[in-house]
Every structure is written in C-alpha cells, then in structure tokens.
C-alpha cells in the first residue's frame, strides 16, 4: 500500500504511505477522492495544477480473475469534468503485484524535455530523461523502452497526439504480447500525460509484494467460485471468445440502434461485412487469432489478432466500439480499412471512438464522402503528423463540428457517444447525459438488458432506474478493477456472492450487496461534487439538440426522457 | 419606439410596440434585460435559441452630439457570457431617427441561404434573399448593397469570418463615407450574425420619425451645453483630433504598460515608429486625413484616413488598440503593415484586437518570428480564405494557444485583453477579470486616471474602487449611446449636469447623478445574473496564471489584486 508521487516541476519522486482515509479503495473510487482532495476544480486540465493518477483496482494485485484493469484519472481536457478511463493489458496487474495503490503525477516542467518513469521490480521509482522518444509513435516507443529496460515490463505511454495535447489523446497500455494496443481512450487523458512531459511509465512485471489479504484462505475460495461463475456465464463463456465484443454488431444493428452515417441511421447497410461473425471468418481464414489472452488474469479471452491477407499482424484487439465508430459512423464497410484505422489510432495514441466520430462529423459536413476509407486513413494520418487539420480532428468531434459549422455532433460534455444510439436505446440516453464522465458507454451500458429482452429500449418506462442501477454498479466494478466484460456475472447470485466474499477477504470487512450499492453511490456523488465545483449543473446533463429533434430510422424515434427524469437519475 | 423582430426560422418580420418594461432603456442596458428575458442562458451561442440584438442608445435619434453608437448584443460564442459590443458610424443614428428601439434577430434557417434585412425610410423592414453575397468581404458587400438600395443607407454587415462562424468575427458598420471600417469587434458577434444567415442590415439614413422628446426645448438647451462641454474638454478638444486614440501610445508606453511581444514586455522597442505622432506626420506628408468625421453627430473627429505612399486609401480609422495588437504585440513596427492588417481585418470581418493577439501568441509559440509583417499578413489572409489554420486563428488567441500548446495567452473568459497590461495597470486587471464581458478595455478603462496622475497604476490601493466606478459609468454610457471618447466630459460638473438634463428632457424624468449610478449597477447586475445562469461564478473572474507569475518589465510587477478584492468589485 503505497503512493508513488512524481513532481514533474521539481522532478522529484517519492514513495508515500497511503493515508488512512484512502485505505480500502482502488481504481475509480480512489481517483474520485484524490482528485476532489488535491485538484482545484477550476484548474486548466493541461496546467500544472491538474494531477494524473494511475490506480489499479482494489483487487488489482490479487488472484481474482479479470481484475487487471488500470484506472487512469484526472480533470479531463475534453469534457472539463472529472474523468476516469481504464485500460486492460498487464500494467494494472503489475502495479498491484508491486503493492502500488496509485502513481500520482503532478506539477509541470518548464522546458520541453520528455521523461519516462521507471518502476523496478522492488517498486522503486526513478524519473529518467527520455527526450529521444519525442514524437515517437506508441509501438516504436514500447520497442525502444523494452530494449532499454528489458522484456519483463508493462508499459503505459502516449503517442504524438498526447505530446501535442490533443483533447482526444489516449494513453496506450501494453497487452500480454507487449503491444500498446489497449487504451485508456476517453477524456483526452493522453493530453494530460503529455502536459506533464511524461512519455511513459515502465513497470516491472515481476513484482511479488502485493498488499496482504486479510483472509488468504477465504480469498482463494472466493476467487475460485468467482472464476467458476465467469466460466459458466453464457456471455463470457460463448459470445466473447467466439466473436469478441464485435459479436454485438448484429444484435445492436437489428435493434436499430447502431448509429450509422454520423448517427443519421440506426441500421448500417454494410453491417454484415463488418460483423463479429464476418471478422471471425476472415481472421480464421487468414490464420490470425479470433481469440487469445490480451490482459493479465483474463479467462474470457475476448481479444483477437487481426491480420492482413498475407497473415501479417495489423491490430489487436479489433473491438465493437472501434468497428462502430470507424465503420458504421463513417460508412466504411471494409474490416481491413477499419483494422488499419484502429492500429493507426493506437500508434498515434488517440481515442478510436472520438476519432471515428470526428471523421464521421467531417464527412457529414461534406468534407469527404461517407464510406471513403482512403480519405479516413489520410485524415487520421494527419493527426499523427500534427497538421493544422489533424490537430483539429484530434481534438475530437466537437471541435471538428465547430470547424465545419456543422450541427450534428453526437457528444455529451464534449465527448462522443458510443455505439448505441440514444434514440433507439433510451436508457443509454440517460447514461450519456448524466454520467459524470460525459457520454461513455462503460459508465452504464444497458445493452444486455435490451438484448436479453429485459427492458424495451424504446419505452421511457424503467430507463432511468436501469441507468442508475448500472451506473452505480459500474462505479464499483471500475473501483475493484474488474473488466466490464466480466461484470455481467455480477447479476448472477453466485457471481455476486463470490465477488463480495473476495472483497471481504481482502479487506477483512463484512460488506453486503447493499454495501456495494452504497459504495457506488458514494463514488458517483464524489464525482458529481467535483463537477459541481468545476461549474457543471443539471443543465449540462443533456444530449445535443438533434437527438431530441431528428428521428432515427428505422424506428423514427427521438430521445423522450424528460429533463426532470434526467435530473433524478443520480440525485441520491 | 418599436422593436423590429426578425424570425430567421420562418423568415417572418414584424414590428412590435416596445413593452412598457423596456421603455426608457437603450443600448447595452436594454440588451441586458432582453437577453435575460428571451435567451436561455445555457444555449449554444450559434444555435437557434440565441438572439442578436441591435439597439441604438437611449439618446440615439436625438441631436445630442456623439451619441450615434449602435450596441450589438447576444450570448457570445467567444466568451460564453452575455455580450454587448458597440460600433460607431451612421447606423445607430439612422436607427434612432427611424424610431427603432431595437432590431431583434432570432431563430435560424435550415438551408444555406443568406439574407439581408432592409429597413426603408419609413422604417418598414423586409427580409431579402442575398445568397449572391456569400463569402464577399465587407467593402465589396457594402458596394453591392448601396448599388442595390441607394447611397442613402447605413449598413452593418459581416464578412467571410462571420459566415464561417469564427469566434473572433466582427460586425462591421459603415462610416460617414460608407466604408465598413467601424466594428462591433468583440465577443464574436459576427459569428452569431452568420449563424442567423444574416449578411447585412441596410438601414435608410433619411428617417425623421425619431421618438418624441418629453421636453424638446429643455433638450435643445441641454444638448447645446453638453456640446460646449465636449468642445472645452482638453482630451476631446486637443488630443483626439490631432492624433486620434493613437495619441495614447506614447503615454501608455512610458507608463511601461504597453503589452509588447505577446505581453512579455511593457515597453515596445519601436514605439516611436508607430506612435500617434509618427502616424499623424506620415498621413500629413502623404496627403491623407489626420482627422475627419467618421461617425454621425461626432464633433470630436478622432478618426483618420490612412493612405499609402501614393496617397491611396488604406484604412480608416487606424486606432490605438489595433496599432497595439498588430504592432506592439506582434513586434511589427511598420505603420504601413499595421494599416494593411487593419483593413484586412475589417474586410474579412474579424476583430483586430483578438486577431493581433492571436498572431502574437502564434509568434510567441515559435510559429513565426516576432516582427515579421509579411507573415502576419499571410496569417490574416488565411482567415479570409478559411484555411484550416486561418479558422483556428480566427477563433482567437485561446484557440491558437491551445493549437500550439502555448501557455501565455492573454485572455479573460476567452477574450483578449486590450492595450493596457494588467501588471502595469492594476485597475485594468480588475476590469479585465470582473467585467461581465470578458477582458475588455471599454468596460472600464482607467488609463485617464493613470495618465493624469490621479491613481498610481502599480499600487493595489484604490484600484478596485476605480474599476468599479468606471465599470458602472461605462454601463450607462453604453446604454445612452455615447461614444467612450466623449465620456471623459462626464467627470466635469457641467458635462455631467448637461448629460443628465438631456436624459431627463428625453424621458420626462427627474434623474440625479445617483440615479445614473443606480442605472449602471442595475445593468451590471443584470449582466452578471445572465452569466450566473450560464454557469459562471466568481472563480471565472480571474486573469490567466502568467499575469500573476511572470513579472512585466520594466516595472517587473505582477498582478497583485487579491481574489477577495476581485470578488468585491461588482458585488453590489
């Protein structure tokens, strides 16, 4: 249990004991409190007062499966709100096994140098000059870093987009094969890292000083039961390894909620060509991997390796949200083009979702025709090169909308929606509008409820309650470090029960299911408190006008949630 | 007394009786109430809910000298606050003489047409298709409009910058020689006009149905006495006709408060080459006009006509703030280059101050060297052409600072400061920070107090009080329609007394000097009320960090006004 605190102004690094008040917290929940306590809410997100926090989940260093997420937090330059964005890979697990509760990056240097934070196998931190990595893309950055520090390291790093301070810049995280293909993509946290002049953190993978468990035997039992529940769950057992998250394309499209051609249609003409089924076929034929373990401690194996016609690696992992943003939204129906765009974004260090949506907004504004894959690649390449247009695009859909004077910009608090149109899925409208994070599917996605028929996506009734419940649950999931794709197991009694037992065995606590609900509410309230201090009010918890005014085919519905209902969602 | 209300959604135009509650109000004060009553504070400034209001001052149509300003108001796309920006020329007087209290532009059309609002000599409004004027610069626009509607018209119009929705776009107003060289420059109101698809308003100059005066005889007497006071005032009698506002360059520079090289120095090396004295010499030698009447009813004649070496018109009127922003800030010491930049900005329809400061920020960030006139001209030309870079630049200094990741961006609430460095003039720091309009010298400039030695510009003492008093006074001045350059006369007893008598004779009221103070406070409070609704708090009433941290040579001072003092300024 230690904080590694890095002052980029003085270049001093120190290890701190975790203050009592933060003990028993991790990931998103810890970030919510730390940001509230240490970051002035009105500060410039790219100024010295902001702090960038890397925190594994509470169960990050343990043997519980699928808890290797690394949560990254700061005040977001994209949304202006508090922001937590988490990534898979190996970094969160490595941090947990070194007993690191959080790495806190603060201050800001004067010059234009660049640094790398190295944390060795004893958990000792060191800040190292690394100006030779300037403007390097992420794949090359990781190669250079592993060359220098050895293969047994996890890396989080930024690409040129983060160095340039672009508001859609991501932080990339290495997977089990040391590829920076996992991303904390949302909220422009890569720009915050760039503003701190920090190119990368290199964390030794060989740590074995994880925090002690209050009851190791009970923990092992709980962990075994939890893994069993994950293995039993049809979603994580069948759908995910077969198609990955791309398995969602067919059902979302058939629900008429797959935002296409910059959210002017809810069904994509070429959906079959970019579906999870088509992708699995293609990868199989070309000798790629339709499933593999991308993240530490993962037993779901949703990840894939997309290869080109000659069987050469293009990207990993090609997922639903990227196929949607770079495919459906832009009208591009070629998986090869989409995979190339995914890899480009990872390499440049920019959010695939914001970027795909920004490209779609530009196309909708008449800049290029929908479906023009070569144009999309050229546009994204401009981000990497830092041309004037590239920088505008890299600042996300709102900026590109302003540039073209275009009104149809599907963002909330400046951040793009995800691949679920709020007009066809009214509960996701509630989540987009009210989440303290801006539009974000991982904050409370109701797609499982819709696909399983538990909730009618077009009716108003029940949506606010479902969004609230999902947002509360996700706040907990993101604090424990659990992967969102393992989280459906929590709706099964045995999964939920094993999960709580694991937490209790870790903390020596006696939490009940209601305690987790309280935890989630407390986290959301802390996040909302920060946003209030930063100047946000209920009036900001709204979708853009066109979602209320332009009916989405084929259902021809608009968002029908009232302002009063929106305001009740998180008003605990 | 009538409102002309133009609905750009339905393209309907109607004349309304002014509701009782607005009677006796004009200009900025009227705008404050109308915007509060009719514009949702959280609306998108470029969306259909915003309204653009043109209102002559309360004494606009009368014979009182120097009251021909036209106030323009809306929610600003640059600052996000309420905004009033006023311009000289002939439009305000023409509106007053047609008995028009305000022209209110609302809604927004769907297509990409462009319109002109024509108001004939009887005050009858008509909305006319004018898509042939698309992308036309302002000088050519005025020529085309006067060709069509006759010479006897005043015009306010936008250039390409306003059509493109750039956040520093101005609204240009024709002077007595029908040149669109007068500007409502601040707050990006040209972008609001563009968002309404309104290219221009053409107002007949021959109106003679001004609102009746309660006591015409008393008004004539008051007007005569007021004119006498203006003629007697040394500032308006001697300095203004001789050098225009450019006469301020020498004294501000000698006070060490002339922000130069992007506000890294308070004295400009080449100040003598761009001073009012140098300009007057140059104009005289070339056969231009060092003084002429640019605005209706003006007896001060601060305006000039700058000509090139061959005696050919370049621009009118080359004023202090433009010479500062395009000269001192950019390090350009050639009046010929500065005059060309002034004309370019007028022609493109973009604020000279925001643009000069944006150019300076780009230079400071290393994009081009300070002092490179050709580069500055090329950069501003890019705004007119609407290149990617041009659009970034045309969105003002904050956007260009973000583009280059540069920290030294002298703006408050997104709007550039004016030619008085707040570190060398602590009272202007108070005005910049606390004005409901963002940084704006016309909101409460204390330069007269500093030049006359009434107040020590470097001491904290007395600054808050002086700024408060000046801000209150300017709110009144901008509501009556009086030119800021005539306003120093209000500090003389006979000037102030004649001014109040004129207002009383117009309204049949019995106002006292304290009543005017109440009026000013009420207007400022209304403006602050709107900003509060829009989400602003005291925390936004701050200068950028560098003004508190980077001492300004030669005095090597920083801004020393405490946050508590800032917050007391307008807390009536």
Assess B206–A contact: CB distance below 8 Å, yes or no.
no
Model pLDDT, residue A109: 85
Q: Is residue A33 part of a domain?
A: yes
Average pLDDT over residues A223-239: 91
Q: Is residue B308 part of a domain?
A: no
Contacts with A46 from chain B: Cβ below 8 Å? 405
Q: Is the pLDDT of residue B506 over 90?
A: yes
Average pLDDT, chain B: 96
Cα B199 to Cα B128: distance, rounded to the nearest angstrom = 10
Average pLDDT over residues B99-124: 95
Distance in Å, alpha carbon of A138 to nearest chain B alpha carbon: 21
The 3-state secondary structure of B23-71, one letter per residue: CCCCHHHHHHHHHHHHCCCCCCCCCCCCCEEEEECCCCCCCCCCCCCEE
Average pLDDT, chain A: 96
Assess B135–A contact: CB distance below 8 Å, yes or no.
no
Q: Is residue B148 part of a domain?
A: yes
Residue that is written with structure tokens 């047994």 in the block: A152
Cα B444 to Cα B171: distance, rounded to the nearest angstrom = 22
Bridge partners, residue B12, by sequence? B7
The DSSP secondary-structure symbol of B328 reads I
Q: CB–CB of A431/A415 below 8 Å? A: no
Q: What is the CATH number of the domain that holds B180?
A: 3.60.9.10
pTM for the whole structure: 0.93
Q: CB–CB of A128/A115 below 8 Å? A: yes
Task: Report chain A's C-alpha Rg in angstroms.
Answer: 21
Model pLDDT, residue A241: 87
- Axis crossing angle, helix B352-364 with helix B373-385, rounded to the nearest 10: 120
Model pLDDT, residue A275: 97
Q: Is residue B30 part of a domain?
A: yes
CA distance to A179, A339, A349, A413, A537, per residue, from A140 (Å): 10, 18, 12, 33, 43
Of A42, A388, A405, the CB nearest to B392: A388
Assess B403–A contact: CB distance below 8 Å, yes or no.
yes
> Nearest-CA residue of chain A relative to B393?
A388
> Nearest-CA residue of chain A relative to B535?
A535
pLDDT tens, position by position, A143-195:
999 999 999 999 999 999 999 999 999 999 999 999 999 999 999 999 999 99
Contacts with B539 from chain A: Cβ below 8 Å? 42, 535
Residue that is written with structure tokens 């305690």 in the block: A515
Assess A188–B contact: CB distance below 8 Å, yes or no.
no
Distance in Å, alpha carbon of B539 to nearest chain A alpha carbon: 7
- Phi first, then psi, for residue B251 (nearest 5°) are -65, -40
E strand spans, A231-384: 289-292, 303-307, 313-315
Cα A134 to Cα A7: distance, rounded to the nearest angstrom = 20
Cα A427 to Cα A429: distance, rounded to the nearest angstrom = 5
Distance in Å, alpha carbon of A305 to nearest chain B alpha carbon: 35
**B132 or B513: which leads in pLDDT:** B132
Q: Is the pLDDT of residue B339 over 90?
A: yes
> Nearest-CA residue of chain A relative to B386?
A403
Q: CB–CB of B446/B454 below 8 Å? A: no
Q: CB–CB of A123/A24 below 8 Å? A: no
The H-assigned helical ranges of B267-424 are 276-286, 320-323, 335-348, 352-364, 373-385, 388-394, 397-404
Task: Give B143's contacts (C-beta < 8 A, 6+ positions apart).
Answer: none
Interface with A, mutate which of B41, B378, B407 (most A CBs under 10 A): B407
Average pLDDT over residues B47-68: 96
Domain ranges, residue A20: 2-204
Cα A153 to Cα A89: distance, rounded to the nearest angstrom = 11
pLDDT tens, position by position, A233-260:
988 888 888 899 999 999 999 999 999 9
Structure tokens at A533: 């201090």
Average pLDDT over residues B119-136: 97
What's the complex ipTM? 0.88
Do A47 and B540 count as a contact with CB atoms less than 8 A apart? no
- Phi first, then psi, for residue A155 (nearest 5°) are -130, 135
Model pLDDT, residue A36: 98
Cα B336 to Cα B10: distance, rounded to the nearest angstrom = 46
Task: Give B213's contacts (C-beta < 8 A, 6+ positions apart).
Answer: B62, B219, B505, B506
Model pLDDT, residue B269: 94
Q: Is residue B482 part of a domain?
A: no
Of B165, B387, B403, the CB nearest to A405: B165
Q: Is the pLDDT of residue A207 over 90?
A: yes
Angle, alpha carbons A158-A162-A164 (nearest 5°):
140
Contacts with A535 from chain B: Cβ below 8 Å? 535-537, 539-540
Domain count, chain A: 1
Considering Cα of A237, then A238, then A241, then A245, what sign does the dihedral take?
negative
Q: How confident is the model at residue B70 (pLDDT cuts 50, 70, 90)?
A: very high
Assess B386–A contact: CB distance below 8 Å, yes or no.
no
Average pLDDT over residues A46-74: 97
Q: Is residue A531 part of a domain?
A: no
Model pLDDT, residue B239: 81
Residue that is written with structure tokens 């909220």 in the block: A187
Of B165, B392, B405, the CB nearest to A165: B405
Considering Cα of B106, then B210, then B183, then B499, what sign does the dihedral take?
negative
Q: Which of A294, A295, A85 is nearest to A193 (CA)?
A: A85
Of A44, A195, A545, the CB nearest to B47: A545
Cα A154 to Cα A61: distance, rounded to the nearest angstrom = 14
The DSSP secondary-structure symbol of A213 reads P
Model pLDDT, residue B541: 96
pLDDT tens, position by position, B206-247:
999 999 999 999 999 999 999 999 999 988 888 888 899 999
Q: CB–CB of B494/B460 below 8 Å? A: no
Cα A560 to Cα A538: distance, rounded to the nearest angstrom = 17
Average pLDDT over residues A565-572: 96
Q: CB–CB of B559/B548 below 8 Å? A: yes
Q: Is residue A78 part of a domain?
A: yes
Angle, alpha carbons A513-A517-A520 (nearest 5°):
135
Residue A132: CB atoms within 10 Å: 10
Assess B532–A contact: CB distance below 8 Å, yes or no.
no
Assess B46–A contact: CB distance below 8 Å, yes or no.
yes
pLDDT tens, position by position, B370-388:
999 999 999 999 999 999 9
**A445 or A513: which leads in pLDDT:** A445
Q: Is the pLDDT of residue A111 over 90?
A: no
Decide: residue B558, CB within 10 A, 0-12 exposed, 13-18 middle, 19+ buried. Answer: middle
Q: Which residues of B214-231 are buried (b: 16+ CB within 10 A; e: fewer)?
A: eeeebbbebbebbbebbe
Q: CB–CB of B178/B316 below 8 Å? A: no
Q: Is residue B426 part of a domain?
A: no
The DSSP secondary-structure symbol of B365 reads T
Structure tokens at B294: 């640019």
Q: Which residues of A320-357 are buried (b: 16+ CB within 10 A; e: fewer)?
A: bbbbbbbbbbbbbbbbebbbbbbbbbbbbbbbbbbbbb
Of A403, A539, A545, the CB nearest to B391: A403
Cα B231 to Cα A33: distance, rounded to the nearest angstrom = 65
Distance in Å, alpha carbon of A160 to nearest chain B alpha carbon: 13
Assess B385–A contact: CB distance below 8 Å, yes or no.
no
Assess B388–A contact: CB distance below 8 Å, yes or no.
yes
E strand spans, A79-152: 82-87, 100-106, 115-119, 125-129
CA distance to B76, B136, B402, B438, B439, per residue, from B414 (Å): 10, 27, 11, 7, 8
Assess B548–A contact: CB distance below 8 Å, yes or no.
no
DSSP B8-25: TTTTEEEEEEPPGGGTT-
Do B536 and A539 count as a contact with CB atoms less than 8 A apart? no
Model pLDDT, residue B236: 84
Cα A184 to Cα A205: distance, rounded to the nearest angstrom = 19
pLDDT tens, position by position, B314-326:
999 999 999 999 9
> Nearest-CA residue of chain A relative to B110?
A407
Contacts with B107 from chain A: Cβ below 8 Å? none
Cα A209 to Cα B504: distance, rounded to the nearest angstrom = 83
Structure tokens at A265: 């249609």
Cα A534 to Cα A372: distance, rounded to the nearest angstrom = 40
Residue B273: CB atoms within 10 Å: 15
Assign 3-state DSSP to chain B and report helix, strand, coil percentages, each to 5: 45, 15, 40
Model pLDDT, residue B196: 98
Residue that is written with structure tokens 């140059």 in the block: B282
Contacts with A534 from chain B: Cβ below 8 Å? none
């Amino acid at each position: 249990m230690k904080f590694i605190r890095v002052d980029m102004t003085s270049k001093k690094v120190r290890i701190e004991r975790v203050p009592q008040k933060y003990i028993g917290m991790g990931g998103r929940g810890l970030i919510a409190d730390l940001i509230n306590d240490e970051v002035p809410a009105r500060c410039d997100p790219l100024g010295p007062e902001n702090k960038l926090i890397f925190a594994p989940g509470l169960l990050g260093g343990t043997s519980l499966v699928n808890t290797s997420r690394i949560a990254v937090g700061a005040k977001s330059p994209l949304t202006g709100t508090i922001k937590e964005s988490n990534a898979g890979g190996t970094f969160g697990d490595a941090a947990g096994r070194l007993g690191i509760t959080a790495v806190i990056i603060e201050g800001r240097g004067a010059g234009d140098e660049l640094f790398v934070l190295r944390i060795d196998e004893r958990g000792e931190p060191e800040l190292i000059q690394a100006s030779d990595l300037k403007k390097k893309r992420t794949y090359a950055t990781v190669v250079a870093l592993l060359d220098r520090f050895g293969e047994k390291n996890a890396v989080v790093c930024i690409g040129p987009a983060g160095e340039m301070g672009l508001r859609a810049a991501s932080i990339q995280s290495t997977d089990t094969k040391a590829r920076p293909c996992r991303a904390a993509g949302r909220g422009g946290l890569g720009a915050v890292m760039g503003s701190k002049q920090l190119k990368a953190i290199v964390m030794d993978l060989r740590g074995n000083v994880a925090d002690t468990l209050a009851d190791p035997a009970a923990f092992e039992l709980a962990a075994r039961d939890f893994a069993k529940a994950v293995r039993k769950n049809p979603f994580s057992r069948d759908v995910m390894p077969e198609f990955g998250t791309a398995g969602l394309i067919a059902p979302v499209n058939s629900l008429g909620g797959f935002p296409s051609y910059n959210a002017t249609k809810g069904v994509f003409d070429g959906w079959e060509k970019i579906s999870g089924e088509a992708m699995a076929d293609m990868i199989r034929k070309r000798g790629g991997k339709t499933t593999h373990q991308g993240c530490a401690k993962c037993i779901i194996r949703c990840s894939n390796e997309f290869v080109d016609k000659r069987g050469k690696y293009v990207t990993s992992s090609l997922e639903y949200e990227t196929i949607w943003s770079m495919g459906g939204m832009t009208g591009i129906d070629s998986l090869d083009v989409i995979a190339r765009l995914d890899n480009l974004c990872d390499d440049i260090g920019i959010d695939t979702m914001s970027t795909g949506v920004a490209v779609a907004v530009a196309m909708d504004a008449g800049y290029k025709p929908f479906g023009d894959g070569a144009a999309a690649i050229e546009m994204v390449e401009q981000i990497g090169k830092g041309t004037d247009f590239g920088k505008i695009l890299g600042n996300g859909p709102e900026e590109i909308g302003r540039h073209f004077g275009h009104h149809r910009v599907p963002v909330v608090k400046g951040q793009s929606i995800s691949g679920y149109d709020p007009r066809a899925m009214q509960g996701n409208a509630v989540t987009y509008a009210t989440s303290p994070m801006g539009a974000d599917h991982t904050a409370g996605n109701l797609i499982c409820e819709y696909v399983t028929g538990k909730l009618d996506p077009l009716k108003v009734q029940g949506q606010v309650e479902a969004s609230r419940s999902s947002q509360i649950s996700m706040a907990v999931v993101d604090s424990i470090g659990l992967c969102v794709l393992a989280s459906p197991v929590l709706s099964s009694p045995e999964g939920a029960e094993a999960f709580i037992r694991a937490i209790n065995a870790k903390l020596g606590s006696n939490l009940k299911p209601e305690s987790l609900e309280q935890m989630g509410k407390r986290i959301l309230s802390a996040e909302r408190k920060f946003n209030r201090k930063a100047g946000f009010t209920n009036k900001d918890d709204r979708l853009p006008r066109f979602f209320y005014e332009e009916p989405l085919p084929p259902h021809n519905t608009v968002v029908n949630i009232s302002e009063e209902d929106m305001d009740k969602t998180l008003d605990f």
